[in-house]
Amino acid sequence: MSDTILVVCPHCHAPNRVPLARLSEAPVCGRCKRALFDAQPVALDAASFETHVMRGELPVLVDFWAPWCGPCRMMAPQFEAAAAQLEPRVRLAKVNTEAEPALGARFDVRSIPTLILFRQGREVARRAGASGAAGIVRWARSQLS
């Protein structure tokens, strides 16, 4: 098992190799110098999705949502709160399925919000419907343990 992990910067999307032992020590991006973890879900488009989900080595929990979806908007602050608890072990991300319909179609997202947990680029779990921060955190941890 490697003692470093490839973490993709949520700001400039540069890949950063971070020693596992330093993951919790507020690492910064080598390119843009901003924090690699700031308790905010990162908004992904088609290109940055590839980098974060397929290339990055952190598990990525993606919220597939849309601006017109009321339950999605209600869940947004809960998802942010979950990011604060799940980082730096999990990257939380959002895909706006209205702006990125191809990503929603690729993963056969039929209702929103849908949460999909990816690990090493592969889907490991998904759940549909809005939930609170505690429920999101508990579910993600149970899938990764």
Q: Indicate which single residue of 12, 69, 125, 144 sits in contact with Zn ion (rule: CB under 5 A).
A: 12
* Type of residue at 66: A
Active site residue 32: no
Cβ nearer to Zn ion, comparing 57 with 109:
57
Rounded to 10°, the helix 70-86/133-144 angle is: 60
Q: Indicate which single residue of 5, 6, 28, 32 sits in contact with Zn ion (rule: CB under 5 A).
A: 32
Burial (CB < 10 A; 0-12, 13-18, 19+), residue 47, is exposed
Distance CA 144, CA 48 (A): 23
Task: Residue 79: count other Cβ atoms within 10 Å of its Cβ.
Answer: 25
CB of 40 to Zn ion, least distance (A): 14
Active site residue 72: yes
Active-site residue among 9, 12, 29, 72?
72
Cβ nearer to Zn ion, comparing 16 with 96:
16
Enumerate binding residues for Zn ion (CB under 5 A).
9, 11-12, 14, 29, 31-32
Question: Annotated active-site positions, please?
Answer: 69, 72
